[in-house]
Every structure is written in structure tokens, then in C-alpha cells.
Amino acid sequence: MTDDTRTLASPEAAAEILARQPDLEQALAYYRNHLASETAIDLSVAENVLLFHHSMKKKIFDNIQLIPERNIQYSPPAGTPELREQVAKLLARAFDVKVVEAKYVFGVAGVASALECIAFALKGADPVGPPLKDGDEVLIPAPYWQGFNWSFQERPKLKCVPVNLPTTGADRYRLTLALLKKAYEDRKAAGRAPRLLVLTNPHNPLGVNYPRALLDEIYGWALKGTDLHIISDEIYCHSQLDSSTTKFTSAVALDAYRTYAERIHVVWGFAKDFGLSGFRTGFVVSKNAAVRDTMLGNNDPAEPTHPLPWFSPFDSLKTYVIQYLLDAPANGPGSGLYTTYAMKEYRTLLNTSFGKVKAALDAAGIEYVHRPGDNAAQFFWLDLTKYLGKRSAHAQEATAGLPDAGPGGLDPDEEWLFRHLAAKPTEVTLLPGGAMHNPVPGFFRLCFTARQPEDVVTAVQRVATALGKLK
Ligand SMILES: Cc1ncc(COP(=O)(O)O)c(C=O)c1O
């Protein structure tokens, strides 16, 4: 915690705001900034501070002084043509394809909005296949980022259906085609064949990249054998460990993309890889005409529609800052782009941080789910199941303002452990797996990019001390 991240809300006002946060992760971000003590270490929120301190502050933010008049006025809600062109180039590099065409890239305020826009588009007049309707189901391997529920359920009125990954055995936390097929067939037999499949690649919270062969199988089955659309959430695509032997494969690099592009929609944003979470930048990459009309508007005289991003735009202020970032040279004129340099440096920072935190977890005997050769993105998926139901000799300390888990709640033992670690003297917040639809209690997500590696290591040591006292 640094002084400049705290604001002066009264405890009552802060508590009132906290009670209204839409989910546990957002509530924990607020708690960290406004209520937690100076010594608390929050590793619950998926954020990335590494690049800002490394170079982004100096090379980008320290130089942004004046916002030109043009950038305080209206600008295209799905991003200016220049911005879409530059993001298309950045994504072509990240997705390892020759070209991503800018006309298929659309900006909006955050990936959560990008996902919602796709859902609305597929419910519209002209998607490939029958339009989705209220109550249509969305298959999502679980655990998953709980925000999918906001994006698909709250306004588009679709229904998220978790496909539980196995939590024990040889295929522990592994996605297989058989699992997806079974979930699909079961729902179909109940008269509710799902219409949308969402894959997060690299995965949050498991960190893994899906192997190309598995993606070929899944896309082949879903696109040939069903009328599913697939959303590939690739928001962590630059977050790669050098030790990962399963390389990241974007949906747009798959063979299936050549035939079925209109049913494959990719999303990405600057929140995670670039650490710009508060900016709310999201991009949809889609060749589907209904998605395009939703993102850019449709001037069909029979039924004109406004661009959906008008209501959550890639506004002129973020256009200015992101454009500055995309134009900036790495090291003075002629030195190449800062973004290319930044993603290379980020990879080194990520690997270093992962190595230090892994060593600390191993030294402390804290278990986590990670096989050699797997990617980790920004996470360790801690297995604290053996501490469930154990208690310390001391009563649990109250943690003023620590948010409730929200509707549905958490398993009581998981919640106890979450609160115990968040309380003094440990003061480390981790995200309980129950907040991510994990099928069993006792798993916690630790985001190792949320603080500098030294702080994360300190947090791991404090957690180890607390766990060591449980009987
Ligand atoms: C998989 C995934 N998709 C989307 C988002 C949300 O992105 P944004 O903050 O750009 O809305 C997150 C944030 O945690 C995420 O983990």
C-alpha cells in the first residue's frame, strides 16, 4: 500500500461503497485501496504492476503533459481508424499471424464490455445461424473469471453453465474435449443445447495455455458438429513463461478460423499484459457481420442501430493515452516501438517474478497446481485444501471492512481461511476459489504480478507462518 493510492473516504462512506461492489474481486480492490492497513498485501486482484515501475512510468506517463483539444471532444466510440490499425498490428504479433485486419478490430471500454457486446450482437437480427435468445446457455470451463456472469447474464440475459474441470486424478484441472462434449450433450438432452462456448486462453485462474491439438479438436467439434459460437478470451496472451512448453495458440491462428471465422470471436485489452486495468480498454476481433454492426452501428434505413460502444466507449481520453503508448519509441527515434520493447521486458519481469514466488512457495511447503512445462499467466492456483476445517488457537481477528463473499457466499471453511489470512498479523488477501466457480473448496488464486516480487515473497512467508499454526 502506498499513500497515494488511498483516498479520504470516511469509514461509513467506504463501507457503503464496499457493500455495493458487484463481486468479491472488485470489493477486494476497493478494500485494498481504501480500508486495508498500510502493511496489508493484496494478491487477490488480477493486476500487473511490473511494467509501470520498470519503464512505462518514465517512457509514457511522465511525458504525457497536454491533452490536445481534439482529444477532449467526441471520437468514434469503437476507436479511431488509426488506433484500430495499430492494435491490429500489435495483435497480429501477439497472435503470431501475418495479419489481423483493422476492419475486424473494434474498441470498447474494457473486455467485460467487449464480451457483453458480442453477446448482444449474437442475439441480434443477423448472426450466422439462429439468433441467441434470452436464457440460452453459455458453456464455460470452471473455475472461471466470475465477470463472465456479469457480461453474459446481467443484461444480455444468457445463462452461464460451468463445465467443472476434474479436481483430482491424472487430469486434474485439465480441459478435455470429452468434458465439453458431455456437458453439451447433457444440456441438449435436457432440451437446452448451449449456443456459446467461452474459452479463456491463457486461463484465469489456472494460467495454462491450451495445446494447439486440443484447440483443433474442440473447435473442429464445436464448429462442425454443433451451432455453437466460440469466444476466445485472450486477455493474458502476452503473459507467457519461457519454461512453458505448451505454446500459446490464438484462435485466429487455428485452421478452423479459415472456414468458420464468423463463429469465432476473440477479445483482448490492455488491462493485464500492459497493467492498465483502470483504463478499461477492450477489443473485439470478429469477422461476423452482426458483431460488426453492433460495434460500428448500422445505417440500414429499415432498422438503424447506434454503435453499442457509444454507451461504454473507447473514449477520446483513453484514445489519446493509448495512442501515445502505441506510437512511443522504445528508446528515442528509430529505436522501434515501445510496445514491442515493453512486451519483451514484461516477459523477463514475469519470468523473474514467477521464479521468485515459486521458490518461496516451495520453501514454505505451500502446494499449488502447476506442472512443469505449463504456462502460469499471472497466477498461482494454491491448493490449501489440507487446511480446511483447521483452526488456530486464537480466535479469528476481525478485519474491519473486509467484504462479504456476496450472493451464493463461500464454503464456510474456505471463507474462514480467507478471513484468517486477511486478518492481522498475516494481512494477505487471496481470491477464494469459490468466487471463481471452483467446484471444490480450499483453492485460492494468488496473482503474482499484483505487487513487486519482494512483496509477494513476503506475503507468501506470512501465509506460510499462518498456515503453520493451524491445527
Ligand atoms: C479472463 C478475463 N477476461 C476479462 C477480464 C476483464 O477485463 P477488463 O478489465 O478489460 O474489463 C478479466 C479481468 O480480470 C479477465 O480475467
Output the ligand 1 site: residues, CB below 6 A.
46, 110-112, 145, 147, 200, 204, 233, 235, 269, 271, 277, 280, 282
CA nearest ligand 1 atom 14, residue: 46
CA atoms within 13 A on the CB side of 218: 29
Distance CA 162, CA 197 (A): 10
Show which of 283, 305, 327 is a domain's final residue.
327
Residues 153 and 197 both lie in one domain:
yes
Atom of ligand 1 lying closest to residue 282 CA: 10
Q: Is the dihedral of CA 341, 346, 351, 356 positive or negative?
A: positive
* pLDDT at site 394: 66
Average pLDDT of span 298-303: 83
Separation of CA 316 from chain center:
24
How close is the Cα of 235 to the center of ligand 1, in Å? 7
Residues 186 and 278 both lie in one domain:
yes
Residues 133 and 221 both lie in one domain:
yes
pLDDT band at 46 (very low <50, low <70, confident <90, very high): very high
More confident residue, 292 or 392: 292
| Residue 59 lies inside a defined structural domain of this protein | no
Strand partners, 447: 379
CA nearest ligand 1 atom 7, residue: 111
CA nearest ligand 1 atom 15, residue: 145
Q: Tell me whether strands 229-233 and 159-164 are parallel, antiparallel or unpaired.
A: unpaired
* pLDDT at site 333: 80
Lowest mean pLDDT among 2-16, 91-105, 247-261, 375-389: 2-16
Distance CA 467, CA 421 (A): 8
How close is the Cα of 376 to the center of ligand 1, in Å? 16
Angle CA(406)–CA(408)–CA(411) in degrees, nearest 5? Answer: 100
How close is the Cα of 450 to the center of ligand 1, in Å? 14
Using CB atoms within 10 A of its CB, is residue 335 exposed (0-12), middle (13-18) or buried (19+)? exposed
Write the DSSP string, 77-123: TT--HHHHHHHHHHHHHHHT-S---GGGEEEES-HHHHHHHHHHHHT
Asked if residue 3 has pLDDT above 60, the reply is no
pLDDT band at 255 (very low <50, low <70, confident <90, very high): very high
Residues 161 and 254 both lie in one domain:
yes
Helix axes 453-468, 338-364, angle to 10 degrees: 20
Number of other residues whose CB lies within 10 A of the CB of residue 316? 18
Asked if residue 155 has pLDDT above 90, the reply is yes
Are 265 and 291 a contacting pair, CB within 8 Å? Answer: yes
Number of other residues whose CB lies within 10 A of the CB of residue 414? 25
| Residue 153 lies inside a defined structural domain of this protein | yes
Residues 257 and 118 both lie in one domain:
yes
| Domains contained in the chain, number | 2
How close is the Cα of 315 to the center of ligand 1, in Å? 19
CA nearest ligand 1 atom 13, residue: 46
Asked if residue 2 has pLDDT above 50, the reply is no
pLDDT tens, position by position, 167-191? 999 999 999 999 999 999 999 999 9
Atom of ligand 1 lying closest to residue 281 CA: 10
* pLDDT at site 6: 52
Distance CA 241, CA 202 (A): 11
Residues 286 and 361 both lie in one domain:
no
Residues 121 and 196 both lie in one domain:
yes
Residues 141 and 269 both lie in one domain:
yes
* pLDDT at site 129: 81
The C-alpha R_g of the chain, in whole angstroms, comes to 22
pLDDT band at 1 (very low <50, low <70, confident <90, very high): very low
Give percent of the chain with pLDDT exceeding 90: 81
What DSSP element (H or E) covers 164?
strand 159-164
How close is the Cα of 391 to the center of ligand 1, in Å? 34
| Residue 62 lies inside a defined structural domain of this protein | no
How close is the Cα of 112 to the center of ligand 1, in Å? 6
Atom of ligand 1 lying closest to residue 112 CA: 11
| Residue 420 lies inside a defined structural domain of this protein | yes
How close is the Cα of 202 to the center of ligand 1, in Å? 12
CATH of the domain at 87: 3.40.640.10
* pLDDT at site 65: 77
Residues 84 and 121 both lie in one domain:
yes
pLDDT band at 143 (very low <50, low <70, confident <90, very high): very high
Averaged confidence pLDDT in the chain: 93
* pLDDT at site 126: 65
How close is the Cα of 457 to the center of ligand 1, in Å? 25
Name the residue of 115, 118, 145, 265 whose CB sits within 8 Å of the most ligand 1 atoms, as the mutation to test its pocket: 145
Asked if residue 405 has pLDDT above 80, the reply is no
Dihedral class, residue 389 (left if φ above 0, else alpha if ψ from -120 to 50, else beta): left
* pLDDT at site 145: 97
Distance CA 449, CA 468 (A): 25
Distance CA 157, CA 136 (A): 8
Asked if residue 4 has pLDDT above 60, the reply is no
Show which of 327, 349, 375 is a domain's final residue.
327
Residues 306 and 375 both lie in one domain:
no
What phi, psi does 105 have (nearest 5°)?
-110, 125
Show which of 271, 302, 327 is a domain's final residue.
327
Average pLDDT of span 251-269: 98
How close is the Cα of 253 to the center of ligand 1, in Å? 22
Atom of ligand 1 lying closest to residue 25 CA: 14
Are 340 and 94 a contacting pair, CB within 8 Å? Answer: no
* pLDDT at site 109: 98
Asked if residue 350 has pLDDT above 60, the reply is yes
pLDDT band at 95 (very low <50, low <70, confident <90, very high): very high
pLDDT tens, position by position, 408-420? 689 999 999 999 9
* pLDDT at site 392: 78
* pLDDT at site 406: 61
Residues 22 and 143 both lie in one domain:
no
Give percent of the chain with pLDDT exceeding 70: 96
Strand partners, 446: 380
Residues 24 and 99 both lie in one domain:
no
pLDDT band at 443 (very low <50, low <70, confident <90, very high): very high
- All 3 cell numbers of residue 385? 485444501
Write the DSSP string, 357-411: HHHHHHHHT--B---TT---TTEEEEE-GGGTT---SSPPPP-TTPPP--TT---
Asked if residue 141 has pLDDT above 80, the reply is yes
Q: Which domain holds residue 90?
A: 70-327
Q: Which residues make Cβ contacts (< 8 Å) with residue 334, sequence separation at least 6?
A: none
